[in-house]
Structure 1
Amino acid sequence: MERLQKVMAQAGVASRRKSEELIKAGRVKVNNETIKELGTKVSSQDEVEVDGVPLQREAPVYFLLYKPRGVISSAKDDRGRKVVTDYIPDIDQRLFPVGRLDYDTSGLILLTNDGEFANKLMHPKHKIDKVYIIKTRGIPTREQMKQLKQGMEIEGEFFKAEDVRITSTDGKKNTAIIQMTLHQGKNRQVRKMFDALGVPVDKLKREQYGFLNLHGLNAGDFRPLKPHEVKQLRQLAEENVK
């Protein structure tokens, strides 16, 4: 038996807090009876409806994918382009990505059918380290690197790196390899930050998400997360939002 709002969140209806609001508003039924009590618990045998739509409950699954470039971070694309779920075949569960990586960005992305898990990781205060490897056209100055850590306002949004360092440079080609750690997860954040400096990004790859990395994987490869990894990610997200 699990709390109704937790079951709703895991099914991807909404966050647990939003699910509680739906319950209190009388929009949820259990076995055809309207429920407004937050303490209600349900089993796998109970029939749950939200706004008249039956809840589809599945066994939770969790995957790590090495997303190639030129792939959409979505479960489907109306223009017929390749999406991240295409790389995990023969799965009955309805998968969706946790957050996103840009079309031209490769690297580590998580996929799951557990809405509550995804919402925890994507919480704006989660502060989970996301490590990127960046190849730039141009070599940033020391002052520009300092600016990335101090933060900058771009199009009304504040962007900031937690850590950033140049790992190598090529003076002849005028390129640099840079490692950047972010806590934020804003749309095209890395590219916007370097564009603002006048040092455009040539290639971008996310190498690490929290304690997870891409060791042993090639682009397009995936693996299931181990139970202890799922537990550790939950603990990491919960600790950071306290």
Structure 2
Amino acid sequence: MRLNRFLAAAGVASRRGADELIAGGRVTVNGKPCRDFHFQPAPTDYVKVDGRLVHQRTPVYILLNKPAGFVCTRRDPNTTDTIYDLLPPKLSSLAYVGRLDAQSEGLLVLTNDGDFAQRLTHPRFKVEKEYEVALDRAATADLAQRLLRGVLLDGKRARAKHVQQISPKRFRIVLEQGINRQIRRMLECFGFHAKKLARIRLGNLRLHDLPRGKWRPLSVQEVGVLSSKTASPARTERSRRRGSFKVARRDSSAFARNDDESR
């Protein structure tokens, strides 16, 4: 992680503000001024701003099973139900990764690791997102192929990577792109409406038996797999040298089984 990202992740300043601190000579590493924007602090380095030691925040990664009707925002004057109402206050500062609209439900990752979040959502890394979709009417015979061929949305070719029809009105659709409301808008182009839409997978992450409205911490293994799949060789080598990280803890690890069908 470059020095400006390190400072931003620690809450010292925005990334642009961190650049100004570095350029102004206000940042020291192990007692020496550092104006190298490409410098990457090691865990053993002492980074200070204006003489005050900077403590890097412990990365936190959680998975939430978002119910329909909850908005991905901290405050919305048009609704009282946001995803942060489902979390304890200590997790209210986490940022969500990949918005789900209010009507959609399912798997949502939240974290304070901005670099991790960016790599999950950047098209370069092609992290798969799988959804279950229920249509308003039976699909036509060519709908799956049309979804694979794609349509133009916002000047870009929007297409599905994989499409599996599991009943006349139900599909599983895998995306690699991150276009806003992509599945709903593609279906509307073909004359269909998504009555229900749920994200069931992000990369290697799945909901399994996590009930709607509940959250759990990601395991070290889950974060490690995602990080390794979205890391450059140089980043992977640095991660091995830096050691481990911590994940959020729940008060209880027991989850009631969700008997409703996955959506």
TM-score by length of 1: 0.80
Q: Which of residues 182, 186, 190 in structure 2 aligns to 1:189?
A: 182
- What is the deviation of 1:228? 1.4
Q: Secondary structure, in 3 states, of the residue corresponding to 2:197? A: strand
Residues 1:78 and 1:208: Cα distance change in structure 2 (over 3 Å): same
Residues 1:20 and 1:123: Cα distance change in structure 2 (over 3 Å): farther
Moved more, 146-155 or 190-199: 146-155
Residue aligning to 2:121: 122
8 Å CA contact 2:98, 2:121 repeated in 1: yes
> What amino acid is aligned across from residue 29 of structure 1 in structure 2?
R
Residue aligning to 1:139: 138
| Larger strand fraction of residues | 1
* Separation (CA, whole Å) in 1 of partners of 2:164 and 2:197: 15
Residues 1:22 and 1:237: Cα distance change in structure 2 (over 3 Å): same
8 Å CA contact 1:84, 1:97 repeated in 2: no
8 Å CA contact 1:93, 1:113 repeated in 2: no
Q: Does 1:213 align with 2:212?
A: no
Q: Which of residues 216, 226, 238 in structure 1 aligns to 2:231?
A: 238
- What is the deviation of 1:181? 0.4
Q: CA RMSD in A?
A: 3.3
Q: Does 1:4 align with 2:6?
A: no
> What amino acid is aligned across from residue 27 of structure 2 in structure 1?
V
Residues 1:140 and 1:82: Cα distance change in structure 2 (over 3 Å): same
Moved more, 96-105 or 67-76: 67-76
* Separation (CA, whole Å) in 2 of partners of 1:216 and 1:222: 11
* Separation (CA, whole Å) in 2 of partners of 1:217 and 1:135: 21
Residue aligning to 1:156: 155
- The one-character-per-residue Cα deviations of 1:104-134 (angstroms, maximum 9, x if unpaired) are 1000010011111111111122211111000
Q: Which of residues 5, 27, 30 in structure 2 aligns to 1:30?
A: 27
* Separation (CA, whole Å) in 1 of partners of 2:81 and 2:54: 28
8 Å CA contact 1:166, 1:177 repeated in 2: yes
* Separation (CA, whole Å) in 2 of partners of 1:27 and 1:187: 39
TM-score by length of 2: 0.74
* Separation (CA, whole Å) in 2 of partners of 1:28 and 1:192: 49
- The one-character-per-residue Cα deviations of 1:30-89 (angstroms, maximum 9, x if unpaired) are 26997421326376864448xxxx978421100000011111123443545322222220
* Separation (CA, whole Å) in 1 of partners of 2:104 and 2:32: 47
* Separation (CA, whole Å) in 2 of partners of 1:8 and 1:28: 14
Q: Unmatched 5+ residue regions in structure 1?
A: 170-175
Q: Secondary structure, in 3 states, of the residue corresponding to 1:142? A: coil
8 Å CA contact 1:134, 1:179 repeated in 2: yes
